Amino acid sequence: MSLKLEKIRVNLQGNEILHNINLNVEKGEFISLLGPSGCGKSTLLKSIAGLNDLEEGKIILFGEEIQDIVPEKRGTVIVFQDLRLFPHLSVEKNISFSMDLKKVPKKQQKEIVKKLLKDVQLEGFENRRIREMSGGQLQRVALARALASNPKILLLDEPFSGLDEKLREEMGKLVKKLQRENKMTMILVTHDKKEALQLSDKIALMLHGDIIQYDTPYNMYRYPVSMEVADYFGRNNYLSGVVKDKIFKNEYFETKCDLNDGNYKAMIRSSSILINEEKDDFKIKNIVYLGDFVEIILGNNKKEILVKSSSDILNSDKFKINNKVGINIKEDEICYFEDCKEVCL
């Protein structure tokens, strides 16, 4: 185990921000803390690094309790979105700053800086001034500086969110490559679900100061523990129905399932629905063209359904606004949530 958080509670200015956080991170894992703005991601990251005091709980890093150790002696490093580089110093001086403090011999420092600059694809940039660099290059310097202090765990607080999409993806790939090559343990804070799904070994989904689900990206998307988790990954369709004798039934479809009798909501992702042009349960109300795919709103007097489909569906003559179509559901992709309301069929 690399990092273990036990019952972490954090108050800031009299408000309880983190309630009861538990988390286990294995050595060499890439973890994302994912969640909407204000849910407590940065607070948790800063608490691990010692920048917030705990009200209660333990932080165990490689077997050592560190919650009472000062930040600079914890073996943690945070890279923030604003990077906090020293603008008046060269790239080399920025990167070797922590090694200077540790009195690493100058010759060795130079060698390490050279290697790190190669790793972050900035070979030969030693003497460049910080103010003479682009946003993407600054990110790389900040990353190299963080790695230079050889942390036990690297903490990244949305460092890429100010970059354009292409650069953000490039930086994500670079970080992941460095993490794999060096078997580093990393925690990335992000509100970008795509970034979290692409990069993480596991995602900790945070809402309102708690971790709601901690799982692999696949499980998080495929088996969300609640509707809140499901909806964090996109707009979904919910169809209420009744299970009796292992059959889920509602007015649009019925399917086998492994649930006890009762009322349920079937959560169906927009990509789990196929348009059936032979049926006429719904009218096509809107079509939003998004390049590779289209989002289609179907509706009748009771229900609206969102369907995500490959754009080639637009080639069909029948596929026009106000025409009537039906739906087929990829039944093995449905998630069921218990529903306390009575369902009328």
Task: Give residues in contact with Mg ion (CB under 5 A).
Answer: 42
Query: Does the protein bind ligand ADP through residue 32 (CB under 6 A)?
Result: no
**Which residue in the set 4, 6, 12, 114 belongs to the binding site for ligand ADP (CB under 6 A)?**
12
- In the complex, least distance from residue 322 CB atom to Mg ion, rounded to whole angstroms: 45
267 alpha carbon, distance to own chain's centre: 21
Query: Does the protein bind ligand ADP through residue 301 (CB under 6 A)?
Result: no
Comparison of 42 and 270: residue with beta carbon closer to ligand ADP: 42
**Which residue in the set 2, 32, 42, 236 belongs to the binding site for ligand ADP (CB under 6 A)?**
42
CA distances from 335 to 66, 81, 200, 203 (A): 40, 36, 23, 19
Selection from ligand ADP, Mg ion, none that 17 binds (CB < 5 to 8 A by kind) is ligand ADP
Window contacting ligand ADP (CB under 6 A); options: 34-42, 107-115, 120-128, 331-339: 34-42
Query: Does the protein bind ligand ADP through residue 47 (CB under 6 A)?
Result: no
Comparison of 12 and 297: residue with beta carbon closer to ligand ADP: 12
- In the complex, least distance from residue 253 CB atom to ligand ADP, rounded to whole angstroms: 38
Selection from ligand ADP, Mg ion, none that 313 binds (CB < 5 to 8 A by kind) is none
Cα separation, 66 vs 49, in Å, equals 9
Comparison of 36 and 234: residue with beta carbon closer to Mg ion: 36
Query: Does the protein bind ligand ADP through residue 193 (CB under 6 A)?
Result: no
Query: Does the protein bind ligand ADP through residue 43 (CB under 6 A)?
Result: yes
Contacts of 204 (CB under 8 A, 6+ apart): 23, 31, 32, 33, 34, 211, 213, 214
Selection from Mg ion, ligand ADP, none that 136 binds (CB < 5 to 8 A by kind) is none
**Which residue in the set 13, 301, 315, 322 belongs to the binding site for ligand ADP (CB under 6 A)?**
13
Comparison of 43 and 236: residue with beta carbon closer to ligand ADP: 43
Selection from ligand ADP, Mg ion, none that 315 binds (CB < 5 to 8 A by kind) is none
Cα separation, 185 vs 179, in Å, equals 7
Comparison of 50 and 241: residue with beta carbon closer to ligand ADP: 50
Interface with ligand ADP (CB under 6 A): 12-13, 17, 35, 37-43
